[in-house]
Structure 1
């Protein structure tokens, strides 16, 4: 069996290739970055800072909580390597952050079990909770071992300092002891209800199991409640925000239109559980069936510091020989690659209780080095100062090259209810054969959806499995757009009402454009900043 040393060697090799590729391009006098539009086959840095990805391996299911003792968010996650041991994999690693934009690695927090025959030979998703009453941190986690009758059980470990952890080898929850699955019994999440009881909700086959406790130690079965029809809903996260109760979950139904992070809402915990009895009738009244992001964001779970609530999920990596192959390899037979970079959004609650995901202030403040913006190519453009108008089909304005970490913001106003526009990345001049566009597409007069397309003379057009969700057209046809990139991770927000996460390779050191597809659009306040 190949060891982790091999993975480390691969990572060093990738870092070496990155440095060589960039150095060769920047040192070539024939290619001037400031004046040419030639597409450069750029590659990611080895380290992702804003949307955290470790130098070796990737981030799996995040488990955030606010550590009131330390005054910071901590995010546990399943550490994924390129090559995992056959039975002992996914130890918990940890991060600490105060602003959700800069992370300090805590290294390995909870190791896998000590042998391939242990119930927790592999670790699965769980949660962490600090108990002020006894001064202990509790990690409740999934012990996974495909060789055993109970493939998954819920286990726990405690620590007085978040450094030294003691496994409780006596305590364990087995699903089949309570009428649940012995195979799918995972992702415990703890929260407190209005009656003062602690609840632990666990994802099982077609059902959520519910347990209660008064002390975080002793747990009593409290029945269960349905999932969405016959689908497995992973990583449940239940919380109260204002006057509403919410459950955020990741639908594991393996269809490209469905496998996304979603939520349900109700005025009480009991009503929340009842939402799943007829989810089609009880989706949040937001026109998007409770979908929070694209398929480029998965296993989302939230944490609050008492003022703001944030959600963390992973953005999958893609396979391929170059940026062109990677950018269209979104479905992989209907299932994206598992694990990637850690993406954080702010949870935005609207007056009617519905939720959307929005910008994180700490990330916005991090991208504070404003860069000059200049037009390097255009078609169908008229310009007045720094305001632009695009008219006609295939009109575009192409802007100068981006860096490795970019914040792009601008405002688009469409001339009517049917105008269609997009933002292209990894784009060169008018002869570019392939480039990648996030299209704000009119599904009908009053509904929009973000599609991902490979455009250009040799482009495939619409790319399945990475489109967004339906949202209502702004009444004034004005779209305030903000895009953040960290290497290949790309997150777009519109009007604090739409969130779209994707992985687009080759963004750095290439030009970008805003496009119009018929009719006309006006563009203003174009800004680019880095860090």
Structure 2
């Protein structure tokens, strides 16, 4: 009964997070004209996020998106993370529903964790959802260090996607098929070229060796036959695999958990058939022909998986939170670059997958975002240096704009004068700021760019390691069309449908922002800001 009461209470709190926040625009002296000021303001996140879903209590862990054809919407299952988890029992599977990737409705808890410390699914891990003949299946990881096998694959079923029954008599155990008893997780189901259901599971060979995928197949989603194993990339564990066909190409999307600062990102591989896709790993790695090893976003998007409604395919991952509450004193905005790993769990971020003619993928803004951020506000120049009628010239030139709201859509166009011009956009920047945070479009060579994250200002640390993006080709006409969406401290930035960058920057809301130039000259045009 206590668990039921807690779940209902948490559901009420979670649902409340989906309503628009109507707090006082700025705390302090109500007579002060905040819109006319440019000094730093220590703003904090609202209890719930309106676009990048975050429950009022806890955070979003690994998403498991599924398109429900019967209901005509996406169900995004996720591991519900609480601040104070119990030692063995944690990560129940919760869910939200959405039709467009920009507006969410909480469904609360679907699969609870086990009732005691000795049940196999005392803790739940990543899995997937599928539907056949009116029955919904969730295959998930049962995790418990108290059991003979620390991780096994388990399942639950439902006829309405609301009430779920765990299949207590069924499980896939790694050692039965020559795999690890400690790491046997993240099951993902798809239909292969043979029109059978296939499942891949992230694991290791029993007795040691490099990580691999265990592959199974089924004709009915109930009985599974072991097919064999698929190699991963050397010694790198590929988590949260997602295999799908889009148009004429097959893809595997995965989160590479390798701890090097340049890795631990969401990546993909592409081939013409499923068998060729497997060979990209077995005989590879054979990276996607995009010039950056299939990287899809920054290190601030992880555990991402996709789902399609038959027309569009979207990808959901989580943007990590950062520890601490004070923006400057605890350096929470640079925590991913001080040698530490990003925290686990955060806000739910969705992108639209863009497929190019050669099969390569990039990420773009969800179309419903622009419709949601539909209240145009003034973009007023508050201060500038080296700025003249849209032109920024000289190292250190900038134009500072007025304060942002809680959720913002910023768009502008930059045209550089040559192939080495460098520019950026800064947030949490006041006229008195000794530190502020900048996403820099950095020229890596004549023809390639990369988004770097920097803490600028006289007390800034400069380049923040492990928070940068990936190489992309310089636009032939040196024109960069930039769209930025923010929701409290979560930000997504897009350039020309070829580059996506997710980041967590505390204090974006209610502070000024700027466009900067670093040597040479750039032309800025069509600066627009809209809010919800």
Q: Does 1:298 align with 2:296?
A: no
- Distance of 1:352 and 1:424 partners within structure 2: 34
Mean Cα displacement is larger for which, 487-496 or 322-331?
A: 322-331
Secondary structure at the counterpart of residue 107 of structure 1 = strand
Q: CA deviation at 1:296?
A: 0.4
Give the structure 2 partner of residue 101 of structure 1: 102
Quote the residue 2:112 is aligned against: 111
The answer for the alignment partner of 1:515 in structure 2 is: 516
**C-alpha separation in 2, matches of 1:520 and 1:375:** 19
2:216·2:225 contact (CA, 8 Å) conserved in 1?
yes
For 1:334 and 1:36, locate their aligned partners in 2 and report how far apart those are by CA, in whole Å.
36
Q: Residues 26 and 34 of structure 2 are in contact (CA less than 8 Å); yes or no, is this contact kept in structure 1?
A: no
Q: Deviations over 1:195-220 (max 9, x none)?
A: 21000111112100100000100100
Asked if the contact 1:260/1:298 (under 8 Å) is kept, the reply is yes
For residues 128 and 461 of structure 1, the distance between their equivalents in structure 2, rounded to whole angstroms, comes to: 43
Partner of 1:285: 289
Q: What SS does the corresponding residue of 1:34 show, helix, strand or coil?
A: helix
Residue equivalent to 2:208: none
Paired residue secondary structure (1:453): strand
Separation of aligned partners in 2, 1:408 and 1:221: 50
1:320 is displaced (CA, Å) by: 2.2
Q: Does 1:402 align with 2:408?
A: no
- 1:390-432 per-position Cα deviation (integer Å, ceiling 9, x unaligned): 0000000111110000000000000000000000000112x42
Once the two structures are superposed, residues 333-385 of structure 1 have per-residue CA deviations (whole angstroms, 9 ceiling, x without a partner) of 431100000000001000100000101011121000010111000000111xx
The structure 2 residue matched to 1:263, chosen from 258, 262, 268, is 268
Match of 1:273 in 2: 278
Alpha-carbon contact 2:92-2:109 (below 8 Å) kept = yes
Q: Do the aligned partners of residues 86 and 278 (structure 1) sit closer, same or farther apart at CA in structure 2, a change above 3 Å counting?
A: same
Partner SS, residue 180 of structure 2 = coil
Match of 2:36 in 1: 35
Distance 1:270 1:312 in 2: 26
Aligned to 2:207: none
Matched, 1:314 2:318: yes
How far apart in 1 are the matches of 2:320 and 2:283? Answer: 31
**Runs in 1 of length 4+ with deviation above 2 angstroms?**
19-29, 277-280, 331-334
Q: CA deviation at 1:515?
A: 0.3
Note the alpha carbon deviations across 1:105-157, whole angstroms, 9 max, x for none. Answer: 0000111112110000000000000112xx10000000000122211000001
How much has 1:95 moved relative to structure 2? Answer: 0.5
- SS of the aligned residue for 2:290 comes to coil
Cα separation, 2, equivalents of 1:76 and 1:332: 32
Are 1:301 and 1:312, in contact at CA under 8 Å, matched by a contact in 2? yes
How far apart are the structure 2 equivalents of 1:331 and 1:172? 40
Name 1:424's counterpart in structure 2: 426
User: Which residue pairs with 1:68 in the alignment?
Assistant: 69
Instruction: Give the C-alpha shift of residue 323 in structure 1.
Output: 1.5
1:23 CA displacement? 7.4
SS of residue matched to 1:312: strand
Q: Which residue of 1 aligns with 2:455?
A: 454
CA distance in 1, matches of 2:95, 2:262: 31
Pair 1:177 & 2:176 matched: yes
CA shift for structure 1 position 279: 3.8
When normalised by structure 2's length, the TM-score is: 0.93
Aligned to 1:411: 413
Cα distance, 1:49 vs structure 2:
1.3
Contact 1:60 1:79 survives alignment (8 Å): yes
Distance 2:22 2:42 in 1: 12
Q: Which runs of 5+ in 2 are unaligned?
A: 205-210
Q: 1:403 to 1:61 in 2, by over 3 A?
A: same
| SS of aligned partner of 2:181 | coil
Counterpart Cα distance in 2 of 1:21 and 1:196: 53
Displacement after TM superposition at 1:28 (Å): 4.7
1:227-246 alignment to 2 at 5 Å?
Answer: 227-246=232-251
Gapped regions of structure 1 (runs ≥ 5): none
The Cα of 1:321 is off from its aligned counterpart by 3.6
Shift of 1:224: 1.0
Please name the residue that 1:344 is paired with. Answer: 350
Aligned length: 512
Superposed counterparts of 1:131-170, under 5 Å = 131-132=132-133, 135-170=134-169
Q: How much does 1:332 deviate? A: 6.1
Q: Is the 8 A contact 1:369 1:530 kept in 2?
A: yes
| Cα distance per residue 1:409-457 (max 9 Å; x no partner) | 000000000000000000112x421110000001111111000000011
Partner of 1:495: 496
Specify whether residues 190 and 370 from structure 1 end up closer, same or farther in structure 2 by C-alpha distance, changes over 3 A only. Answer: same
Deviation at 1:21, TM superposition (A): 10
1:22–1:42 CA contact under 8 A, matched in 2: no
Instruction: Specify which of 383, 392, 397 is matched with residue 390 of structure 1.
Output: 392
C-alpha separation between the residues in 2 aligned to 1:190 and 1:236? 10
State the Cα distance separating 1:100 from its structure 2 match: 0.8
Instruction: Report the Cα distance in structure 1 between the residues aligned to 2:50 and 2:85, rounded to whole angstroms.
Output: 24
User: Is the 1:254–1:334 Cα contact (8 Å) retained in structure 2?
Assistant: no
1:92 correspondence with 2:98 = no
**In 1, Cα distance between the equivalents of 2:526 and 2:400?**
15
